Structure 1
Amino acid sequence: MAVFACTGCGAVLTAPVSRVALPVHAHHRHGHTLLPPLMEPGTYAVDQEPSGPPWLPWSEARTDEAETRGFFAPVDVLPMGPPGEVVVAPGDSRGTVLIPERCDGCCMGLDGRDGPNLACAQCGQEVATRIDDCSLWQAVRFVPHAVHRHSAAVPVPCATGWATPPGQSRGAPPVGPSGAWSPLWEAAAGAALAHLLVVSAGMSVEVPGGLAAHIFGRSLDALLPKGPPVKRAALAGPGLPAPDSTPDIALVPRHPQTGEAWRPPGTSDTVPVEAGVWTRLAFPREGLPVPAAGGMPDGVFRDDPLPPHPWELFRPDPEVLLHTLARLPAVRQPWLREIYDRVRGNPYGHPFQ
């Protein structure tokens, strides 16, 4: 584990935290309400993308300048802040005070539009940006040059490789109690769909039946040509048997700690999927909702209470799709750029309405 301290005076600015992969919904907006923290308590992630002001309008940016900052398709504005922000849950920050003149937001809180709004309480150096406005996942983002990392006294196991299957943590369920699809699933699907489009090479893609078909099928049918030639996608990862034949595309889990995609044997193109989402796609059956008495046999599932069912068609989040595609060099290919421009021009049309 680690703690982060101010580079100006050495004051500790976080609780002990362990590193995990940045969630795919880190740049995702949702609804018009207060959202929970982006990061789980006791964790941190490093955002490798440039972030925050100053902002450069796309019309004023040179192509080489945009690509140097990791943008390969038009966006509204380029963030010209530094990459490498350290992201923690607000409850894991320590020893900071608000900078009152930088506490702007759109509605219910702070959105970080003016840059760092937290200073070190001990020396006054600008150290971080707190974000907690409506539609934004709450987070504290530490400026890379304002903090340095120290090892904490609490040891944690090194989380590398796939010795522990991602199935041990099932993540958020796809459908909430209200019958609405989970925004975490919509964001994860938007990111995975971007990679699916890239490896499709502009051809039709056939995805596995069941939940995976609900998540990806309608969007792929709308965005890619119909009919042959067809690329076949299949789920692959820890705990799944090897397929009878190598699929063209493997839907694989993204390691929750390292962010690395599982690599299947063979030569399939891979599409990383958030580990919790992948697990529910690969192992769709839930365990018993209540303890069973009387020695119920293995593999027998009760139907009380019934699992929630969605009241609307699933839609991958178009903003996450565009955010991911714009940062993949493949989007410069004419056929994929056409899809990008089409979705950007009507992000809430079919199949995203």
Structure 2
Amino acid sequence: MDVFACAGCGTELTAPVSRVALPVHTHHGGWEELHPPLMEPATYAVDPRPTGPPWRLWEDVGEDAAARQGVYAPVYSVSFGARNRIVIAPGDSRSMALIPEKCEGYCQGVDGRDGPNLACEGCGRAVATRMDDCGMWQAVWLEPDAVVRRPSGLPAVPPPDWDDLARPEHRVPPFETDGWWSRRWEAALGVALAHLVAVTEDRPVVLPAGPVTELFGHAVGRCLPAGPDARSVGLAGPGIRTPRPRPDVLLVPRHPLTGEPWRPPGDEGAVVPLDSGVWAYLVHPGETSPMPATGVLPEGVLRDDYPLPPYPWYPLTPHRRAFEYTLVRLSAIRAPRLRRHREASR
């Protein structure tokens, strides 16, 4: 495990943390809602893309400079902020104090619009940004040039791997306990749809029967055209058999540490990466009962007379910003067949 310390004075700024993949819903929350922490306790992730201020208008930046920032289609503004910012849960921050004049926000918290708003208590240097306004996952973002990573001295924690996807606690249900769709699922669907549009070049698709069609079918039908020459889509990943013959596109999980998509050995075909927790639920939905069996029923057996959990009354809808944000950052959007999506991003 590691800790991050101030590059100026050496003050430790975090609890011991271990690296995991950057969540796909990092920048995509629900408007006018307060969200929980983005990161699990004792974890951190790194965003390789430029994020945060300063922002420059697309018309001032130009296509070539925007592409160097990882944006390949017209958007309102392009971030020229730091790359490789480190995100942790707010509860894992240490020895940092808010900078009052940098604590602007839209509604119920701070949003980092003025740059770093947390200072090292040891030397006063601005080192991080607290973000917790409505519509944002609560997080502390460490500036990469203001901190250094050091060993914590604690025993190393085994890094997450494909085997973790089989654990029940890794699965993310598609809806919350109050009956609304999961914000994480909405964002994951938006990101996956962007990749699906890119790899199929906006062609029709045929989804596999089962939970993929039940949960994604409505959104895919609204995003992609209908008609002949459809591309087949299948679910694949560690621990399950890859469909044969191989579908044109495979829905696969992202690695829980690197974020890279899973691939069958020696396979270079088209894949669409999914949030690993969402993928794990699609493959292993598990038992839905909230009530364990008691009395004379054997241990581990669940009752079949429990009430159905709350279920959303409307189809699962992709997070619009997650879809647009992802698609304009895929170079494939420059393809002629994606013209309608490219123009819609303006």
Instruction: Give the TM interval when normalised to the shorter protein.
Output: over 0.9
Q: Secondary structure at the match of 1:190?
A: helix
Q: Would the aligned equivalents of 1:167 and 1:276 in 2 still touch at CA under 8 Å? A: no
Q: Would the aligned equivalents of 1:46 and 1:87 in 2 still touch at CA under 8 Å? A: yes
- 1:64 positional shift: 1.4
Q: Distance in 2 between matches of 1:170 and 1:122?
A: 38
Q: Distance in 2 between matches of 1:179 and 1:298?
A: 26
Amino acid at match of 2:277: G
Residues matched between the structures, number: 344
Mapping 1:229-244, distance limit 5 Å: 229-244=229-244
* 1:281 corresponds to: 282
1:341–1:171 CA distance, 2 compared to 1 (3 A): farther
Mapping 1:140-155, distance limit 5 Å: 140-155=140-155
| Match of residue 306, structure 1, among 305, 308, 319 | 308
Q: Secondary structure at the match of 2:153?
A: coil
* 2:328 corresponds to: 326
- 1:198 positional shift: 1.2
Q: Please, which moves more after superposition, 73-82 or 38-47?
A: 73-82
Q: Distance in 1 between matches of 2:91 and 2:307?
A: 35
- 1:153 positional shift: 1.5
Amino acid at match of 2:328: A
Q: Distance in 2 between matches of 1:114 and 1:164?
A: 38
Gaps of 5+ in 1: 346-353
* 2:139 corresponds to: 139
Q: Secondary structure at the match of 1:59?
A: helix
1:155–1:340 CA distance, 2 compared to 1 (3 A): farther
- 1:11 positional shift: 0.4
- 1:296 positional shift: 5.0
Q: Would the aligned equivalents of 2:293 and 2:303 in 1 still touch at CA under 8 Å? A: no
Q: Please, which moves more after superposition, 322-331 or 152-161?
A: 152-161
1:329–1:176 CA distance, 2 compared to 1 (3 A): same
Q: Please, which moves more after superposition, 217-226 or 59-68?
A: 217-226
Q: Would the aligned equivalents of 1:29 and 1:136 in 2 still touch at CA under 8 Å? A: yes
- 1:247 positional shift: 1.1
* 2:180 corresponds to: 180
Deviation digits for residues 289-318 of structure 1, max 9, x if unmatched?
433354559998734132332211110111
* 1:3 corresponds to: 3
TM-score normalised by the chain length of structure 1: 0.91
RMSD: 2.1
Q: Secondary structure at the match of 2:323?
A: helix
* 2:253 corresponds to: 253
Deviation digits for residues 113-172 of structure 1, max 9, x if unmatched?
010111111101110111111111111111110000001122234326534444443433
* 1:341 corresponds to: 343
* 1:190 corresponds to: 190
- 1:30 positional shift: 0.8
1:123–1:264 CA distance, 2 compared to 1 (3 A): same
What is the identity percentage for the equivalent residue pairs of Structure 1 and Structure 2?
48
Q: Would the aligned equivalents of 2:292 and 2:301 in 1 still touch at CA under 8 Å? A: no
